[in-house]
Amino acid sequence: MYAWFGLFAGLVGFLGGMWTLRHGLEPLAASHLPALLNRLVKTPFRGLITGTVVTAVLQSSGAVTVITIGLVAAGTLAFPDSIGIILGANIGTCVTTQIIALQLDALVLPCLVAGVFLALTSRRLWHHIGITLIGFGMIFMALKLMSLSLQPIGRSDWFRRLLLESSNNPWLAVLSGTVLTALVQSSSATTALTIALASQGLVDLPGAVGIVIGNNVGSCITSVLASIGAPTAAKRVAAAHVLLNVLGAAAFMPILPYFTAFIQHTGGTPALQVANAHTFFNIISSIAVLPVARPYADLIEWLIPDRKTPGH
């Protein structure tokens, strides 16, 4: 019971750390963000670069996707121009995962102490940098708590059987990752949990790779929720995000053993291999769609046509 409580507390702490991190970073970029996105997305490649950089800065592909949906809904951004941002957002979110995989436990105390000190200053820039450092400290502390909590849980027979079944059945692993991320609404959180499982030896690499692919599919729930009640163009942005990750997962499933073998050759710790799987999946999926971004936008417009008023 204590272990499960610790795992839950760690997950809540991680989500709180991500929120605090974005709370510190967003004011530094938010005032210029809509104009920046609108100016730099006139080609799919420029949109991809912009989406990647903005997501890496804000540490949230969900936030960037929601902002993009808002811009399209307001008519300040054309739907075809949003495709590059969506592709880039999937790549930019990998920065978070790579940072998590480094497992920088020693930075918890310095980040928290420096963060609190800077957050108390009156200067706006240093205040937001301090909030950002507190967020990083909370994330590292939550990851440590999750890792420690998994040790006793991992010794239970039923938990090992569940993970073994997921490892032997890639479709079940993908489904698990999809459902968990949809519930938590943070692919970074569920990927962090997968990294903790792999670090403790509780899940092998094939199972972890399947869960990570499912995490990307489950992350689409944020954009779907943001598009409810929005204009048709905004719904198309959400559909483009969903279809990108679903098609990516479908394309990777037949070659999952080969992809897993490739990830093993990237070396490093199990945690780093899980992060690499997340990174390569998103980069390959986005780069594959980039050359056909305009036809892809046409496909989405065909799937979600404009509503015609009665009598037309």
Q: Over 80: is that where the pLDDT of 256 sits?
A: yes
Q: How confident is the model at residue 266 (pLDDT cuts 50, 70, 90)?
A: confident
Q: Over 60: is that where the pLDDT of 59 sits?
A: yes
- Cα within 13 Å of Cα(7), Cβ side: 17
Rounded CA-CA distance 177/192 in Å is 12
- What digits encode the pLDDT tens for the residues 66-109? 778 777 877 777 888 888 888 998 898 888 788 777 766 677 78
Rounded CA-CA distance 94/278 in Å is 7
Cβ–Cβ under 8 Å, residues 131 and 115:
yes
Rounded CA-CA distance 147/26 in Å is 29
- Cα within 13 Å of Cα(116), Cβ side: 7
